[in-house]
Amino acid sequence: MLRLTRLSPAGHSARRRRRTAALTAAALAFSGLSALVTPPTAGAAEEPGVQAALPDLTSANRRAPVPGLPDWSKAGYRGGAALPGPNEINPDAACQITASELSSQYGVRTDGSDATTGLQKAIDDIRTKCSPKASYTKLSSITLPAGRLTVSRQLGVDADYLLLKGAGRGKTTLVFRPDANTRYDALTEDGSDWDEDGMVHGAGKGGWMWPGRGLLRVQTREVSPKYAADHRSAPANRKDIFEGSINQHWASGIPLREGSALGANQIKLAKNADISKFKVGGYLWVGAANTVKFYQQQTVTNTAQYLNLHMRQQIFQITAVNSSTKDLTIDKPLEYDLPLNSTADGSPAIGGTTYPSRVTPLKVVQGVGIEDLSITQELNGMPKHGGGTYNVTPAEATKNYGNVAPEYEMHGIVLKWAANTWIRRVGAELTGSHPIVTESAKNIQIQESYLDGSWNKGKGGNGYFRGSRVWDSLYAYNTTRNLRHFTFQWSASNNVVVGNDFDSDLNLHGGWERRNLFENNKVTVPFEHASKNCKSNCGEEGGGGPDDSTWYPIWWAAGPKAAKWSGSSGAQNVFYNNEMSKQASKGGAFQPYYGDRQRIYQFGSDAADASKFKHLSTGGTTIPDWASKETVDFTKSNNGVNASRTDSSGSLFLKNPGRATVFGAEAAQGTLVDVSTAEQLKTALANAKPGETIKLAPGEYRGSFVTQKAGTASSRITLTGPANAVLINDGPSGTAPSCPVPTAGWDSGYGLWLHNAPYWNLTGFTVKDSKKGIILDNSHHVTLDKVYVHHVDEEAVHFRRSSADGVIKNSKITHAGLVQPSYGEGVYIGSAGSNWKCHGNTGGADRSDRVSVLDNEIGPEVAAEHIDVKEGTSGGVIRGNKFNGTGIKGQNSADSWIDVKGTGYLIENNTGTFAKPGVFANGYETHNPSSSPSFPNGCGNTWRGNKSDLGGVGKYAIYIPSVSKCSANPNVVHSSNTVTGATTGLTNIKVTP
């Protein structure tokens, strides 16, 4: 339908009377909307109320397990418990070490002196005096002062039930300057990396303390009796090799008498096992021996890469101990086969040695919290391994995927053999390697933290936000910048990554990591994010030289490649509702990546049964490496990514994701602005800031509601309210400008207007009795969710003036076009070419591209098209909507549910009906208007899985009036579309299977 720009005069009293008469019917039409609308209280305060806002991540807001998907409902601290607050602190002053007590009793000061000894003594005192009687609801605490504290040695945080808390991120900073006994004195032959194998003493080597030293290490320091003598004789720079060895499976591991199958929860210990070591409630490490058949399953054919290891492993809790049979019951089913040994499945021995599966009763550190502080590692002035000192700037480590100072590859926070530990509101700036790393940890929760940069991001696997051997953990609302990867690896499983803001890839790094959920993250990967961008000590994945690829938002470990360091990624690593984009060329535009936000992408999964492993392949041939295969469509022909399911809820993890499209640490620390009057709402919109949530109280809000405030990609702005929070504009009034732009003295009459206001979320509320409903001008990346727009003079929702990458979902639209039926669209995407003089702000055209219209109810009494897709727009998705065509007026050829003049739209799984009264020609139509600039208008669109009931009136479900105009990019109608009540048939073009 062609439309000319129309700026209405003041007045419209007729439409006001018409709307009033229809109020009761409208209220009844929307499920869940109360017919009683309470006005804001007279005399209410006109200043909006402001408070902190954070999505509820606890069990109270967790979804029940979704059939066919892994159970993520127990991820995080204590399986979904709220993180501790002041009420969980032990009231005994002896177990609360204050900042002043740190200074007066332990010599911990912010004057530049070394605080290491005092801090370690404080932790040790808590461990010996308070931890034995502490609990999750009776935590000890150490409060750090504001300022900078210098630390020269790794701090062992091995006191159970301890909160280590600073004065705030950026206010308390631990500055790591590793001393001669902490920096690594053994480097590889070329000097590029820490040589853990060259760092030896007695029976031990540096690899025993993998992943390496850190500033804060949450790990037991208990030494196995087997290595007590070596520990006593070791010099200061080797003692930590043996600390924690009580947990090493080669020191304390116990073999089996019989294997257990996947899904079992019984572990059958060897007959000579000391059953007294196993306690109900204790933690148990379970490692399955590698087998030749297991490597073959990963398509690894190079037998030189087969190793006697436990690639498949996990930490469980013991729920029962049978002393007579020497059987253990664990808290959840095994996720892998647990063979008796490496030959029990019929495989030949690897390297001629039969290798046993083992279990180990663990000594974990539990209940430790680290909050409200920052960490950094300084290099300037520090001695180099080969002589001299460092003099470097942070710029030298930015987009440099090499190792600047290999002898200082120390991490920020190390969690090893740790359980129910949390990190909250922590900042990390230029750590030596990983800012946060796990290595055998369970039920960890890391949230609201900001991690920026590492001095070493090169050979040896440095500079990650690293989740290795981590289970049932939650990574929520963190921001990372200038790191190499976010990784899961080495059998990590059942973890949830939600709400984060990353500028590096989500990296499934290998080692049979499986059943992890990545949802609602923002991943924006620049072209420069590549191993080839390296100044010194460079290396790609697997230890070779840099390749010519550039990392994409997802990296998946192919077996033939990842066997160099572990093995293939496993099954059911799920990506859902993430906002991912990649800059594929230097200076180029960022392009969406796996951009269907409702599609559930299960990597490493078989097409028939997603729980079963399927290696990624193309044309039936396994891929040897992910590099250069990043843009291959693996969702087809059982190529290893199961994408057969969709979900419209917005979260597979939370019942109510709240501000689900707000990402990162800063967003999580945004503010909540409560409003209850029209004036408060106007003020809040005029003063909105990134990260804020404006919350509407129930009631009517009458006035002109406009915002010109932009959110950001990492800190969106949210306007939210219940369905009975209703916005009404009694305009228009005043003198209109030649093109619609907020102008003093002119009220547009729009119910809600976002002008130059990208990155907003609009959720839950209602707009009615206005000239237009919700108008977006040059406001890209705006999401409308669960809004209700009804009884408007013209269109209900308009993505206009290049408001690209928008979403409207789970919403309802009725009674549009009450005054101007020819302008009464439900959802209007773009602008007619004749209006580009006003709305064509991108190359002369209105490029409101990649708009998604998902799971909405549109109609009845929508006078024009339910969705009008205008020329010049492209790449949108229209899915899962319900169209009720009753009341279509047919004016200006608006006589179908959808009119598509854009290109490259996917229109699938919608349901449309029509019943009189109304004027109805076809369910879906295309048109091919010319435009300047020129586009392939009305071409290259796809219909599949749509159900159409034309009520015995419409001719075709899908009508393509011109095939010849789209010969180079034809429209496609699949046979999965169905029609009833058509006077002619499904479509006028050839159907594609």
Instruction: Tell me the average pLDDT across 406-429.
Output: 97
Instruction: Tell me the average pLDDT across 266-281.
Output: 97
Domain 84-214+365-483 fold: Pectate Lyase C-like (2.160.20)
pLDDT at residue 662, rounded to an integer: 60
- Give the C-alpha separation, 126 to 795, whole Å: 65
**Residue 42 pLDDT level (bands cut at 50, 70, 90):** very low
Residue burial 394-411, b: 16+ Cβ < 10 Å; e: rest: eeebeebbbbbbbbbbbb
Instruction: Tell me the average pLDDT across 40-45.
Output: 31
pLDDT at residue 666, rounded to an integer: 63
- Is the link from the previous residue into 211 a cis peptide, with omega within 30 of 0? yes
Q: What is the pLDDT of residues 922-940, one digit of tens each?
A: 999 999 999 999 999 999 9
pLDDT at residue 43, rounded to an integer: 32
Provide the token pair at 248. 């090493």
Q: What is the pLDDT of residues 76-129, one digit of tens each?
A: 999 999 999 999 999 999 999 999 999 999 999 998 899 999 999 999 999 999
- Give the C-alpha separation, 291 to 347, whole Å: 6
- Over 50: is that where the pLDDT of 758 sits? yes
- Give the C-alpha separation, 117 to 120, whole Å: 5
- Give the C-alpha separation, 923 to 224, whole Å: 74
- Over 70: is that where the pLDDT of 240 sits? yes
Instruction: Tell me the average pLDDT across 913-918.
Output: 96
- Over 80: is that where the pLDDT of 18 sits? no
Q: What is the pLDDT of residues 769-803, one digit of tens each?
A: 999 999 999 999 999 999 999 999 999 999 999 99
**Residue 196 pLDDT level (bands cut at 50, 70, 90):** very high
Query: Count of residues for the chain?
Result: 993
**Residue 536 pLDDT level (bands cut at 50, 70, 90):** confident
pLDDT at residue 544, rounded to an integer: 67
pLDDT at residue 300, rounded to an integer: 97
Could you tell me which of 226, 230, 244, 225 has the C-alpha nearest to residue 201? 230
- Give the C-alpha separation, 200 to 75, whole Å: 38
pLDDT at residue 546, rounded to an integer: 72
Q: Which class in CATH covers the domain with range 13-52+670-992?
A: mainly beta
Whole-angstrom Cα Rg for the chain: 31
Instruction: Tell me the average pLDDT across 396-406.
Output: 93
pLDDT at residue 670, rounded to an integer: 65
Q: What is the pLDDT of residues 290-328, one digit of tens each?
A: 999 999 999 999 999 999 999 999 999 999 999 999 999
Provide the token pair at 884. 């009720």
- Give the C-alpha separation, 984 to 920, whole Å: 13
Q: What is the pLDDT of residues 958-971, one digit of tens each?
A: 999 999 999 999 99
pLDDT at residue 382, rounded to an integer: 95
**Residue 19 pLDDT level (bands cut at 50, 70, 90):** very low
The answer to whether 159 and 145 are in contact (CB under 8 A) is no
- Over 60: is that where the pLDDT of 9 sits? no
Provide the token pair at 249. 């499976």
Instruction: Tell me the average pLDDT across 419-447.
Output: 97
pTM score of the predicted model:
0.70
| 2 compared with 413, residue with greater pLDDT | 413
Q: Give me the DSSP letters along 192-244.
A: SSB-GGG-EETTEEGGGGTT--EEEEES--PPPGGGHHHHHHS-TTTGGGTTT
- Give the C-alpha separation, 151 to 171, whole Å: 16
pLDDT at residue 16, rounded to an integer: 37
